[in-house]
Amino acid sequence: MEIAHVLLMDIVAYSTASMEQQTRFLNELQAIVRETAEFQRAQGNDQLLRLPTGDGMALVFFGDPEAPLRCATQIFQAKGKTPNLQLRMGIHTGPVHHVEDINAARNVSGGGINLAQRVMECGDAGPILTSKVVADFVGQLETWDSAFHDLGEDEVKHVLHIHVYNLYTEHFGNPSIPRKLRAAALLRTRARRKRIAVAAGSTAVIVATVIAASLYSKRAHALTDKDTVVIADFNNNTGKRFSMRL
């Protein structure tokens, strides 16, 4: 087992494109990735594993936790030359196991790459999303501390909740909130309002009950056949006249 820093990306609406478009999109993406300085650096230092995913790729970096962030920002900036290429990108740091695929090629499995995919699936074309693990770790560096923007939690496959951040500055990234996360935020807001309304209603019932009990306790006691009334002589020294009716 080893800790890996994973950048996973795919092409949005790839399955709806024609075969010619799919080939062109993949060629454009591969050309952009190969030309980034971070890809070339990591590959030259044997710190990178490249995994095709059909409609995209996973870049598994070892050693440097900043590597996938630098690579993602470089891809984002270079992608401006190909506006028709729409990408989702997700970044996560976690444990992986080294394995071999059916062709006996190097591959990895485990939570590191699985959660990177879940993070990516929360996004739309444009934003660079990261997990909270990445934000907590790399966000402590001055270079990146202002680039992480909290988007809250989202529920993904297998009832798994992940905390997602959007990586952007004025120089790279996209500040827009993905549709899926906007919907999740709306549901949380509605649930919070409902809890507040229920709490307010419960408080009103309690207050009304207390007031009613207080008023009831102050009511005069009604006489019954079990009560005793004593009539006796007394001296009136008040100088005032009054009468008593029974």
What pLDDT digit, counting tens, does each position of 46-63 carry? 999 999 998 999 999 999
Average pLDDT of 235-241? 65
Query: Among the listed ranges 83-87, 92-96, 177-181, which one has the minimum average pLDDT value?
Result: 177-181
Dihedrals φ, ψ of 122, to 5°? Answer: -75, -10
Give residue limits of the domains in the chain.
2-176, 178-222
The pLDDT value given to residue 132: 95
Contact indicator for 74, 36 with CB cutoff of 8 Å? yes
pLDDT bracket for residue 104 (50, 70, 90): confident
0.85 exceeded by the pTM?
Answer: no
pLDDT bracket for residue 223 (50, 70, 90): low
User: Beta-strand (E) ranges in 47-134?
Assistant: 48-52, 56-61, 87-100, 106-109, 128-131
The pLDDT value given to residue 243: 58
Residue 72 pLDDT > 60: yes
Structural tokens at position 190: 């509605």
* Residues of the chain by 3-state class (helix, strand, coil), percent to 5: 40, 25, 35
Residue 103 pLDDT > 80: yes
Q: Which residue has the tokens 């891809």?
A: 75
The pLDDT value given to residue 46: 94
Query: What is the C-alpha separation between 38 and 68, in angstroms, rounded?
Result: 8
Query: What is the C-alpha separation between 70 and 9, in angstroms, rounded?
Result: 14
Classify domain 2-176 by CATH architecture: 2-Layer Sandwich (3.30)
Q: Which residue has the tokens 């009334």?
A: 229
Contacts of residue 181, defined as CB under 8 A and 6 or more positions apart, other chains included, come to 122, 151, 152, 154, 164
The CA–CA distances, whole Å, from 7 to 12, 49, 111, 210, 245 equal 16, 11, 13, 60, 94
The pLDDT value given to residue 161: 84
CA-based radius of gyration for the chain: 34
